[in-house]
Amino acid sequence: MTRSWWALTACVLASALALTAGCSSTAGAVVTARDVAAIDMLTPRVGVGVTETSLFSCKLTSPTAGCQSEFAPFPLELVATTDGGHSWRREGVPIPYAQTDKLPFSSMVFVTKRAGYVQVGESLVSTTDAGQHWRTLLTGAGLLTLSVWGSSVWVAECANGPLPTSPCRASLRVGLPGGVLSSPTAVPLTAGQLIGRVGPGVGVFSGLGPTPEVQQPEQFMVTTDAGRSWAPLRVPCGGPVVGFDPGRWWLVCAQDGGMNQGIVRVYATSDSGHNWLEVASANPVGPSPGGLSDSIPQAVAVSADGQRLWIAGLNGIQSSTDGGASWQDVKGVNLGGWRPVFSMLPPEHAWLAVGNQGMWTTADGTTWRAS
């Protein structure tokens, strides 16, 4: 599909403004599912997403030599679906930061079909009118991580800007009505980052502690009140945490041994992280009881009812229905090495968006179909 991004340069340059409006709108134009890089489904039929295509374009060198790849910036656009992700249409005007090799599209969260936040590299923008206007909230931020639980939005960032100029001073902001953010609340970890949102006010951060030393082991902190207070958490290793209240969580850790394969371990807790049990492991040079793949996880998700886990590797996904003890390959899903993004709704509705590759959905957690 052809993208007329050259004509939109003026809109992209408008990123210098805090509030962007009046750019050329492509609202209503149809977008294929493979061009949708991230989604946030709000109901089984209604959801929003952000487009993404390859950053590489063809630079013609000669009629006989063909072309060489080069990076090309292009605008990111908000899209919406009303049929469960089978078809998508553009909304509003382009997001006021073009994706480049140095500023890639990162993530998005929406609380209604009109109001949400989009991260592009080190910048964060918001909209309250389905992309008709975009407000710049943060620029030059480091290690931004967005999460949403119901209508509660969190933004974790490095208060001292992008790394690696200095260790990250982690902070947490909360989304407020009107598409704005609260003042930052400090996280008592240096080089801290959000590794799991497991409840409306519950989140887990990893880092190096308040006074890091070169060999200091990784430390973990948990908040149960959206950052107003913190407590140390004993975690067996660093990795993404998924789960739901009142304390049934899973932790997936990986040690890359090269070629996107390595040692992968899955841990479970039923008491909010006070005790962890290793329930599955995989090793490229040894047995993998339970069928867990040794592919390095690219994304981890749990169904909205907590009955099913998914791990997306480099090319495919696996699922578990027994708390992570045994794993089965999901048929018909090929990620092609692109970044996967999950979206879940009760009880076991799930969507998997893989920009440049395709989109898959399941209504029962078992059978996945391409959109």
The domain tally of the chain equals 1
195 is a domain residue: no
Give the pLDDT score at 359.
95
312 is a domain residue: yes
Q: CA geometry: angle at 104 spanning 100 and 107, to 5°?
A: 150
Q: Which domain holds residue 266?
A: 237-336
Give the pLDDT score at 98.
72
Structure tokens of 66?
A: 């063909």
Give the pLDDT score at 23.
53
Give the pLDDT score at 2.
29
Q: CA geometry: angle at 158 spanning 157 and 164, to 5°?
A: 130
252 is a domain residue: yes
Give the pLDDT score at 79.
96
CATH of the domain at 315: 2.40.10
315 is a domain residue: yes
Identify which of 48, 139, 36, 57 has the alpha carbon closest to the alpha carbon of residue 96: 139
Give the pLDDT score at 170.
87
Give the pLDDT score at 10.
30
Block mean pLDDT (10 aa), the chain, length 371: 28 39 64 91 96 60 60 78 96 84 78 94 92 93 86 90 70 93 90 88 80 56 94 91 88 88 94 95 86 95 93 94 96 90 94 92 94 86
Identify which of 72, 58, 120 has the alpha carbon closest to the alpha carbon of residue 94: 120
47 is a domain residue: no
Burial 75-88 (b: 16+ CB within 10 A, else e): bbbbbbbeebbeeb
Give the pLDDT score at 135.
96
Tell me the per-residue pLDDT of 96-112, one tens digit each, with 9 for 90 and over.
887 766 666 778 999 99
265 is a domain residue: yes
54 is a domain residue: no
223 is a domain residue: no
